[in-house]
Structure 1
Amino acid sequence: MWRDDARLDDFHERVVARPLPPETRSRDDSVATFGKNSSGNGDYCEYRVRLKLRTGLSPVELYAYYDKAAIAGVDVGMAQVSVDVDDAGDGGAVIVEFRDISSSDWDIRCA
């Protein structure tokens, strides 16, 4: 359990340590979450870090910036990146999400 909490903290730190792209500022604090793999593939834990940004860049440009950053995931390999426009009426906010999964090692939160 503590191992997974430490992994989430390290993953979160790697994401927020990356400088923001040009013409971009943060809308609020980042959000890091941990739990059962939402795609339902076996006994895996899912780690997510979400950034809410205001930017002059297009979603494609944001994706290219963060994909090129190749932020390390939780175990081996790079985190998956997705970019979505926030449709909640927040005036042009964009959500950048970093995701990775790892075997649960019997962490009950992932069962």
Structure 2
Amino acid sequence: MKPLISLPGITDRGRRAFRMTPVQDDPVSLRVNGDLVDLEDLSANGVAFLSEHELKSGCYDAQLNFTLGERDFTIYCKVDLIRTLTGSYGGELQDMSTMDERLLSRFILECQKHAILRQREE
């Protein structure tokens, strides 16, 4: 039997992967329904973002662009909006290939490494 681990003050918010908050040094952008949005946080299976365009709950075309190493990558997928507040949205990434999921996870890991290095320099 696996042990049950619970951390006080931490509630399950439904995301099954680590979230990272992009900073200006992180080479990543998101388009939803063709419009560039302000990415608030990103995980291997979800996003939170701000948009000037009003969006309703539902599924939208999404495009994630990021740089990993020296290569630029683009992932075309869907985002299923599950949280919509005026201008602020959260959703699950869908319709990604296994390779896209791996690339996105690697990118997030690289951003985490850079964040740790930035903290050490402070």
- Which TM-score band (shorter chain)? 0.3 to 0.5
Larger Rg: 2
Please report the TM-score for the alignment, with normalisation by the length of structure 1: 0.35
Larger relative contact order, structure 1 or 2 (CA cutoff 8 Å, min sep 6): 1
Please report the TM-score for the alignment, with normalisation by the length of structure 2: 0.33
